[in-house]
Chains A and B, each alone.
Chain A
Amino acid sequence: MATDHGRLDAIRGGRSELENHYIDELVAGRISRRQFMRKGAVIGMSTGLMGTILAACGGANNSSSSASSSGSASGTPVKGGTLKLASQAPAAAVNPLTVSDAGGLCMLAQTGEFLTFDNNMALQLQPMLATSWSPSKNGSVWTFKLRPNVKFHNGQPLTADDVVYTFQQLSDPKNASNALSTFTGVLTPSGVQKVDSSTVAFHLEAPNGNFPYIISSDNYNAIIVPKGTDFSKWQSTFIGTGPFKLQSYSQNQSATFVPNASYWGGAPHLSSTEFTFYSAQQPQILALQGGQVDAIVQFVPQGASSILNSSSYNIIKLKSANHRELSMRNDKAPFTDARVRQAIALSLNRPAMVQALLAGDGEVGNDSPFAPKFPSTDTSIAQRAQDIAKAKQLLSAAGHPNGFSTELFTEQYEEIPAMATVIQQAAKAIGINIKLNVETQSNYYGKSTYGNSDWLDGIMSLVDYGDRGVPNVFLESPLTSTGPWNAARFKNSQYDSLVKQYVAAVDLQTQKTLAGKIETLLLNETPIVIPYFIDGLTATTPSVKGVNPTSLSAIFLKDAYKSA
């Protein structure tokens, strides 16, 4: 289909330099239609506008149709009914400042809303409480326009003051804010500024091309609360702006939500939602099979084959950047030699690991945090595959023809203990004897500071990293010279500067070029091994429609309903 240049030119007239840049990229075929939708959304182009542009470039706009779907959105929504969900129990108080666990963040997302929504089902950033946003030319100031006529559950209208309060609290180093790990070096309280009653500007510490992701639902603490909220008491009210409001919450047991009649997006279909909390996965699966719940918010493949292999349930699979990272102390023999680290990486049979450890629900990794799901990932870099002969040769060249003995520290979490023994066996095949130390999570993480943590200090260490919308945190904290989670003690000035450029880059092509360089550098140096990325899995009974889970284990139920 032909490109309608006349129509495109008409659109270009009113667009910013960056927006026009993306249109150029699209026309030239350097980015795909899907990538265009995703990148356009980041810099604040509306879905309608992007649809028009795509139409002008030929073909129907089919990318946006997936936005609100949840596997099967066909059919007319049914009004009423209670949706019962099994969820991981919140591990601590549901306090928007401090929540750090799957169960807790899922609760925040029930009544709270974010400025932007990283819709994992559509792999696209969407407006939520902000209707539009735009960066300054170098990406150091981002301005968000707030949705009009939004009310909190207590009847108070949403204004810029509430947004400023929320983000000042979240980014204040004096607060017990879990979001600080994301905001450090990005945002400080003074950078959050009210422009007018419906506009907020974020003046960043350094240019950041993906800032709209950083305040999106990916940053699960960043739900907008009314100005002056006492966060430690929030769990008694759950006040937010979302489609549901709190009916009851009882620690370790359950939570019930009812529709918010004055929701800006129209009332939800369901008449209530009911979350039952579980401390483990197996009872959630049994509850689904026994009909006690209609859905499991998130589960892992281990021990779940009874529902994975059954056609009686809908399984929603989300591509995710959730991964495991094997670090080797780059400052300690024998891992000071990159060849030794490469040998370890070459000993792994990644496709077999994905099959055995993840029941196939994942993708092989290439020893860099650039997951296949990120648009900026350079997928042309060759995938590392198992090569025992080469691994042995590298070990010999590094002066270890007979291998050596070392230790691996890791945590009891999901499939990780099994994965550790797989790594141990693989290393044995090239003559390396690894002693495993599988510890409880609190033992393993310790104080999470250098010198006080098996995670950060172990000679080899295997840790989990949850999903993120952009790879920034994965690239910075565990790998840059000053990163706080650099378990590999990787210090490489070339890498540091590449990452700095990548984070600042606003346009996709630049990001992609830099990503390719970073991927190549990490393959050569191999400070860490990332064998795979793990899909997010949600299960429902077939009658459940319109649920919208995220790979962070939140679930959005505005459009959900139960068909008859």
Chain B
Amino acid sequence: MARFILKRIGLALITLWILSVIIFFAAQVLPGDPARSILGPLAAPSAVHALDHQLGTDKPLIQQYTTWIGHTVTGNFGTSYQYQAPIGPLLGTALVNSLKLAALAFILVVPLGILGGILGALNYGKGIDRTISVFGLSAATISEVVWSTVLIVVFGIWLNILPIQASTPPGAGIGTQVYHLILPAIPLVLILFAYIQQMTRAGTVEALNSDYARTATLKGLPRGVMIRRHVLRNSLLPTITVIATQVGYLIGGLVIVEVIFHYNGIGTLLYNAANKKDIPMLEAGVLVIGVIYMVATLVADLLYSLLNPRIRYRGVE
């Protein structure tokens, strides 16, 4: 087991390194110089050269990359080109904001998803199961753009009961923050619902068909008790697995929701960094998301293998 985990960590490190190379060199195709994006399109070329020199962005690419990787492995993300400030705190704030939004979405979606899954399994193949499945899949693939605009129109404008911007004034209490995050969290809930619902449904179906369940039914154990005791326990773990696989999306893929609801999360940060050619910031953001993604996938696989001993030592991928 320990060897398996170590191997996984080793592979994850290699993947992260490949990711850093992809980003660093792909980012070179971004138009303009970092200095140009700081000084604006109308700045004099000599000023741009001077600033590029200060930032070190006029050095050979390989040298820039080795410098960057050198201090990154020691945990120092360096300085943002655009803000001329350490990346750590900037990234930290954005990450915390994204986590708040993700956490609220999870709190809402997990019970809904499990409930929907059990309901689907109990009515396997029937109309209600079909409806939940099609609704779930559609909810997941209808863009956040659509959900967000519909929610804003209905709750923000027609009913006027929920705020349509996620950011709160500095120093707002937790209640206010949650209140402002309700609308932006709903698109995420709708998108995640299908994953959890489908996993729970599959787990429940399997459990219902298991020997244990058959015996229990034969023994006359009430269905509700059986579901609570056995099925739920068995279907919770795959749910956690699926949550783990979605962490990457939840942390890095929220740019649309963040833009529409005006929220300073990590998606917006990446979007701005790429637009401003703030390569250290872009690298740091992508790597942090990469680490979260790898850790989440690893945890998911471990949980899955714990649950399913057959694949424990095979399931390297």
Contact = CB atoms under 8 A, between A and B. Distances in A.
Nearest to B31: A446
Task: Kindly name the residue among B38, B45, B48 whose own CB sees the greatest number of chain A CB atoms within 10 A.
Answer: B38
Interface string A475-499: 0010000001100000000000000
Interface string A398-432: 00000000000000000000000000000000000
Contact of A176 (B32, B51, B83): B51
A95 B50 CA distance: 14
Contacts of A235: 84
A446 B29 CA distance: 11
Contacts of B107: none
Contact of A442 (B35, B43, B264, B275): B275
Contacts of B84: 92-93, 95, 232, 235
Task: Kindly name the residue among A176, A251, A447, A485 whose own CB sees the greatest number of chain B CB atoms within 10 A.
Answer: A176
B44 interface: yes
B305 interface: no
Contacts of A287: 165, 169
Interface in B30-57: 30-33, 35-48, 50-51, 54
Interface string A82-100: 0000000001110100101
13 contacts: A93-B38, A98-B39, A100-B38, A177-B47, A178-B40, A178-B43, A181-B44, A251-B90, A441-B41, A447-B31, A448-B32, A448-B41, A484-B44
Contacts of B164: 286
B85 interface: yes
Interface class of chain A by DSSP: loop
Interface string A424-462: 000000000000000011110111110000010000000
Interface in B8-41: 30-33, 35-41
Nearest to B50: A176
Nearest to B274: A442
Contacts of A279: 262, 264, 268, 272
B90 A175 contact: no
A380 to B, nearest CB: 31
A254 interface: yes
B201 interface: no
A175 B30 CA distance: 24
B44 A184 contact: yes
B82 interface: yes
B42 A442 contact: no
Given A178-B47, A292-B169, A442-B276, A447 B33 contact: yes
Given A101-B40, A283-B262, 14 more contacts: A91-B82, A98-B39, A173-B46, A175-B47, A178-B47, A184-B44, A235-B84, A251-B90, A253-B170, A278-B167, A280-B259, A441-B275, A445-B32, A448-B41
A23 B275 CA distance: 53
A446 B44 contact: no
Nearest to A250: B170
Given A176-B47, A446-B31, A100 B167 contact: no
A180 B170 contact: no
B51 A448 contact: no
A282 B262 contact: yes
B270 to A, nearest CB: 13
Given A92-B38, A92-B82, A442-B31, A181 B43 contact: yes
B265 to A, nearest CB: 11
A114 to B, nearest CB: 19
Interface of A: 91-93, 95, 98, 100-101, 173-178, 180-181, 184, 232, 235, 251-254, 276, 278-280, 282-283, 286-287, 290, 292, 440-443, 445-449, 455, 477, 484-485
A232 B90 CA distance: 18
Contact of A455 (B41, B44, B46, B276): B41
B155 to A, nearest CB: 14
A321 to B, nearest CB: 15
Nearest to A293: B169
Contacts of B44: 173, 177, 180-181, 184, 484
Contacts of B46: 173-174, 180
Contacts of B169: 276, 287, 292
B262 A251 contact: no
A280 B30 CA distance: 23
Given A254-B170, A440-B275, A283 B165 contact: yes
Interface in B133-175: 163-165, 167, 169-170
A286 B42 CA distance: 32
Nearest to B171: A254
B276 A91 contact: yes
A251 B83 CA distance: 8
A286 B165 contact: yes
Contact of A446 (B32, B43, B48, B259): B32
A184 B38 CA distance: 19
A35 B161 CA distance: 52
A445 B41 contact: yes
Task: Kindly name the residue among B39, B51, B164 whose own CB sees the greatest number of chain A CB atoms within 10 A.
Answer: B39
A443 B45 contact: no
A484 B275 CA distance: 23
A279 to B, nearest CB: 7
Contacts of A91: 82, 276
Interface string B268-292: 1000100111000000000000000
B184 to A, nearest CB: 12
Contacts of A286: 163-165
Given A251-B85, A283-B167, A442-B31, A175 B50 contact: yes
Contact of A92 (B83, B90, B93, B259): B83
A175 B39 CA distance: 12
Contacts of A175: 47, 50
Given A92-B38, A92-B276, A286-B164, A176 B48 contact: yes
Contacts of B277: 442
Contacts of B31: 442-443, 445-447
A290 B277 CA distance: 35
What 7 A-B pairs are tightest by C-beta distance, nearest first?
A100-B40, A176-B51, A93-B84, A180-B44, A445-B41, A283-B262, A176-B50
B276 A176 contact: no
Nearest to A95: B84
Contacts of A484: 44-45
B149 to A, nearest CB: 13
Nearest to A478: B42
A100 B39 contact: yes
Nearest to A448: B41
Given A95-B84, A232-B84, A448 B275 contact: no
A290 B43 CA distance: 38
A276 B170 CA distance: 8
Contacts of B38: 92-93, 98, 100
B269 to A, nearest CB: 9
Given A92-B276, A251-B90, A442 B165 contact: no
Contacts of B90: 251-252
B1 to A, nearest CB: 44
B82 A100 contact: no
A229 to B, nearest CB: 15
A519 B39 CA distance: 31
Contacts of A448: 32, 36, 41-43
Nearest to A93: B84
A280 B262 contact: yes
